[in-house]
Amino acid sequence: MEETVLRLEELLFPSVADVTVLSVDVNDETVRIEACSAAAGAACPGCGSGSGRIHSSYLRFPADVPSAGRRVVLCLRVRRFFCRDASCGRRTFVEQMPGLTRRYSRWTERLRSTLAAVGLALAGRAGARMAGLRT
Ligand SMILES: [Zn+2]
C-alpha cells in the first residue's frame, strides 16, 4: 500500500517557495504557525547582490487569512543579512519571503489580495465591515 505524505509547507503555503514550517498549534480559536525561510541567503534590495552572511534574526507576526473559521497567527523567523557590496548604501537588509511577505507590511500577500478583492467588490465601509476591519 502506498502511503501519501502531506508536507506541511505544501499544505499551508502552496505558493511560497523555500519555507519551512517549524510547528503548528491548533486550538478552538486560532491556528499558530511557526515558520522560517529555507533559503540559504537573500538578495539585497539596494544593490541586488546575494548574501548568506547573517547579522541577526527576529520574529514577524503578519496577519493571515483565516483557516476553517480560526484566526491564523503566523510567527515568521526572518533574518537580517549583511550586504556584501561595500559601495551599497545598505549595510544590512532583512529577507522577504516572496509570495508571503513584503517590506513593512503587517499582512501576508494572500491576505492583502483577499482584502483587495473585497474592497473592489464592495468598496468603502461595506467591505471593511465584511472583512472585520476597523475603520
Ligand atoms: Zn546592497
pLDDT band at 134 (very low <50, low <70, confident <90, very high): low
**pLDDT score for 23:** 92
Separation of 107 CA from ligand 1 center, angstroms? 25
Express as a percent the part of the chain with pLDDT over 90: 56
What are the helix (H) ranges across the chain? 8-12, 109-122, 124-131
CA of residue 47 to ligand 1 center, whole Å: 4
Are 60 and 97 in contact by the 8 Å Cβ rule? The answer is no
Residue 6's SS3 state is coil
> What are the tens digits of pLDDT across the range 40-78?
999 999 999 999 999 999 999 999 999 888 999 999 999
Distance from the CA of 26 to the center of ligand 1, in angstroms?
39
Distance CA 67, CA 77 (A): 21
Cα 126 to ligand 1 centroid, rounded to whole Å: 43
Quick: pLDDT tens for 97-121.
988 988 989 999 999 998 888 777 7
Please give the distance, rounded to the nearest whole angstrom, from the Cα atom of residue 134 to the centre of ligand 1. Answer: 38
